[in-house]
Amino acid sequence: MDFVVIDVETANQRPASICQIGVACFRDGVLVETWSELVNPEDFFLPFNTQLHGIGPRDVSAAPTWPELRPKLRSLLEDRMVASHTYFDRMALKGADVRYGLPSISIMGWVDTCRIARQVWPYLANHKLTSLAQNFGLSYRAHDAVEDARCAGLVLLLAAHTSTLDLAEILHPTSTSEISRRRRLSAKNDTK
């Protein structure tokens, strides 16, 4: 079960205003690498966002911009299955790429860990990472991008281990038609 989980924090309501990115890499169902980077969003900060994640303009003044950190991000995501907890992070990456005129990173596909959590544990009151971590005893510091990515990855593994969910099939579909279908969907979503 090899996959990469991403999470971002933003400076304001615009998804492209990424001020922190976190990546958690899982190999054979084990966390093997994490990477986190503050990002200069070249945009304004809303007090609400700063209060939520604790990142402000001073914190990112010397941080790399989105185009400057893309080579490292590409090395972590390219040709891999990527997960995030909700669609927001995927939308943010796409938005930042469009803002700077950068091509999308070629990945195998996307997995929404929140959707999977809803599928596996429909009886829970909600499926926020903080709630899932509390329900399942996962140590976790909310609204830190690498912590969010790590926790979402652990939730995905836990969902696979406590249900009939075939995580290997979700992450690495074996049928050619399923691979083609996912690529078409990915390409279609990337043009929106």
Q: Report residue 174: phi and psi, to 5°.
A: -90, -25
Confidence of residue 117 (pLDDT cuts 50, 70, 90): very high
Cα gap 119→140, rounded to integer Å: 22
Cα gap 1→81, rounded to integer Å: 10
Cα gap 173→142, rounded to integer Å: 31
For residue 123, give the H/E element and its range.
none
Q: Report residue 86: phi and psi, to 5°.
A: 90, 170
* Mean of pLDDT values over 90-112: 96
For CA atoms 156, 161, 162, 166, the dihedral sign is positive
If you search the block for the tokens 């909600």, which residue do you land on? 126
164-181 confidence digits (pLDDT tens): 878 777 776 554 445 455
Q: Which residues, in sequence order, are CB contacts of 89 under 8 Å at separation 6+?
A: 6, 7, 8
If you search the block for the tokens 């997995």, which residue do you land on? 111
Domain tally, the chain: 1
Instruction: Please tell me which residue, 107 or 190, carries the higher pLDDT value.
Output: 107
**Burial of residue 58 (number of CB atoms within 10 Å: 0-12, 13-18, 19+):** exposed
In order of 66, 67, 79, 129, 182, the CA distances from 8 in angstroms are: 12, 15, 20, 14, 24
Read out DSSP for 27-87?
Answer: ETTEEEEEEEEE-B-SS---HHHHHHH---HHHHTTSPBHHHHHHHHHHHHTTSEEEESSS
Residue 137 confidence (pLDDT) above 70: yes
Residue 172: per-residue pLDDT: 63
Cβ-count burial 138-162 (b if 16+ within 10 Å, e if not): eebeebbbbbbbbbbbbbbbbbbee
43-97 confidence digits (pLDDT tens): 999 999 999 999 999 999 999 999 999 999 999 999 999 999 999 999 999 999 9
Average pLDDT, rounded, for the chain: 91
Q: What is the residue range of 145's domain?
A: 3-190
Residue 62: per-residue pLDDT: 98
13-25 confidence digits (pLDDT tens): 999 999 999 999 9
Residue 187: per-residue pLDDT: 53
CATH of the domain at 73: 3.30.420.10
Cα gap 172→105, rounded to integer Å: 18
Residue 176: per-residue pLDDT: 44
